[in-house]
Chain A
């Protein structure tokens, strides 16, 4: 079965320190990869995506993610965390299909990022 794993329910980091939120996937082929963020009482906001090309993808708010095909991972990173980065982060994959098949996203369970001042 196709799945996405976010092994950490919560990540704690001090403001100014680098952060990593982990994501691995089990999807056949070469899927498209996404990160979304949900702030309290808000909807999902798109952060970044990997389609093809350079394995390091840069996105909104200083976030970046590195695609590693051999490890089937797509970890989210930021060099210096801010308190305002505290939110729920979701990794998602979209199986690369052909012939007009659906573009549905398969999500992980989410990782709560808590940045302490």
Chain B
């Protein structure tokens, strides 16, 4: 069974540009999460989808970040316009339906904003 996949693995952009990250969860997982780790700090929650609906977006930093999950399958996270402080590793995770179910993480996308 394929795990969580993320694309691209790395992205280097200039301040003010737009970047879109993609996450494909494990097939059949209704829950999809986005997290971010800024250099050397803790991994922070961004938002949580249940199927195509946003269950919790309390961790989204500001309105420059837009997440979508069309059809309840893959998800995209767009940053527009990117700022220097957006640099970090963006992780996606997915899980089945119960609160006790394990979240399985993708390899992450390393975003560098110059």
A contact set with B: CB distance below 8 Å = 4, 32, 34, 36, 42-46, 49, 51, 90, 92, 94, 96-97, 100-110
Contact = CB atoms under 8 A, between A and B. Distances in A.
Contacts of A96: 99
Interface of B: 4, 6, 31, 33, 35, 40-45, 48, 55-56, 58-59, 91, 93, 95, 99-108
Contact of A102 (B41, B55, B104): B55
Contacts of B40: 109
Given A32-B99, A96-B99, A97-B99, A106 B105 contact: no
22 contacts: A4-B42, A43-B91, A43-B108, A44-B93, A44-B108, A46-B102, A49-B102, A90-B43, A92-B43, A96-B99, A103-B99, A103-B101, A104-B33, A104-B48, A105-B33, A105-B35, A105-B43, A105-B103, A106-B45, A107-B42, A108-B42, A110-B42
